[in-house]
Amino acid sequence: MKKNILVLGIFVCAGIAALASFPRLLRVEVFSWEIIATSAAYVFLFAYCCWLIHAEVIAYTTRLQQPASRIWLRAGVITVLSLSAYVYDQLFAHVLVYPFDVTPLKRMVIVQVRGFLISGFIYFILYYLYMLRQKQQANLELEQLKQAQLKANLSSLKEQISPHFLFNTLNTLSSLTHEQIVKEFVNELSNVYRYLLQYKENNMVRLEEELAFSQSYLYILKTRMEDAIVVHTAVPDAILSSKVPPLTLQLLIENAIKHNVAAGYKPLTISIWGNKEWLIVKNNYQPKNSTVAGTGSGLGNIAQRYKLLFDRDIHIEQNADSFTVKLPVIL
């Protein structure tokens, strides 16, 4: 039997003993600590015996396969303990004296009713604890099952989208064409995918690696958008070893394209530069007329990661001509 159940039983039975002794305290004409202590000890001993027996019976019956057998056995134990209360009372009759005259029959009825109430109350406490423990165990097993299922699903997805298969396919595609522009596009696409796989579980990367990834990402964008997007990069070597959350620059570039007009007659210009304090990403502000107000999830994600990882805040500045995001340099 678990130690915590035994200890809990002491506190519960002590409370039952205190409650059972309270009516006796009201009936006695002369207050006596000896009478109260004897009454409390009498009830406590009976209650704790019930607690131990019920705990063992519940533990045993949980292993039974037939639910009906559990019910009948537990009900039988409650009844037996209730009846044994009279035998218990006879053993201690010379110790516990009622403060008023009662007939033997009335005393037996009182003892039987009190024994049934104590035995039944203790049973329901233990049964409730057992059900609570079963529920917690079921919830734990359900959570473990969900985690196992999630891992299985992820494993399945990884098998379906094998990095080696994709890279081999891209290399095959590159070898099949003789056009240099196609070869370059496939190579840059490989670089983007390789970066995503390599750093998807990392919290931070070197700025130099993030810039190299952003150049591959921009190459793919410019292949599609051509002169509609112009990018200037001037990041000093002194901060290339600084740390940034992965995909930060990609999110900022994507955010700029999402919310601004980018066309050959009205190009979107994105500038990336920095100093010892800030890495700055700035674009000219030319909002799309049809753009629905964004949720700010991209910028919010960057701000949250900087706060959690570095306890630093990013700065966002907007005016009629430009939109600027300043990222703290983390060396």
Q: What are phi and psi of 268, to 5 degrees?
A: -95, 120
d(CA 155, CA 151): 6
Considering the domain architecture, whether residues 129 and 7 belong to the same structural domain is answered as: yes
| Final residue before a domain boundary, out of 130, 157, 184 | 157
Lowest mean pLDDT among 78-92, 130-144, 277-291: 78-92
Q: How many residues belong to the chain?
A: 331
pLDDT in tens, 266-324: 889 999 999 999 999 999 998 887 645 555 567 888 888 888 788 889 999 998 889 99
The pair of three-digit structure tokens given for residue 279, joined into one six-digit string: 């890495």
Tell me the average pLDDT across 43-70.
76
**Structural domain span for residue 146:** 3-157
Regarding whether 93 and 25 lie in a shared domain, the answer is yes
Parallel/antiparallel/unpaired status of strands 205-206 and 243-244 = antiparallel
* Cα-only R_g, the chain: 38
Q: Which helix or strand (DSSP H or E) is residue 165 part of?
A: helix 163-176
Cα 253 from Cα 277, distance rounded (Å): 21
* Inter-CA distances, 27 with 20, 60, 111, 218, Å: 12, 42, 17, 91
| Residue 232's CATH number | 3.30.565.10
Residue 4, pLDDT above cutoff 70: yes
The pTM (predicted TM-score) of the whole model is: 0.47
Q: Whole-number mean pLDDT of the chain?
A: 76
Whether 174 maps to a domain, the answer reads: no
For residues 240 and 321, membership in a common domain is answered with yes
Backbone φ and ψ for 260, nearest 5 degrees, come out as: -130, 155
Residue 208: Cβ within 10 Å count: 15
User: 277 with 148, same domain?
Assistant: no
What is the Cα 27 distance to its own chain's centre? 55
- Retrieve residue 298's tokens: 């991209």
- Please count the other Cβ atoms lying within 10 Å of the Cβ belonging to residue 68: 8
Q: Is 275 helix (H, G, I), strand (E, B) or coil?
A: coil
Among 189, 188, 269, which residue's Cα sits nearest to residue 228? 269
Q: Are residues 273 and 149 in the same domain?
A: no
Q: Which two tokens stand for residue 13?
A: 């039975």
The count of domains in the chain is: 2
User: Are 114 and 223 in the same domain?
Assistant: no
| pLDDT > 70: percent of the chain | 67
Task: Write out the two tokens for 303.
Answer: 């701000």
What digits encode the pLDDT tens for the residues 194-212? 777 666 667 788 999 889 8
Structure tokens at 209: 């690696």
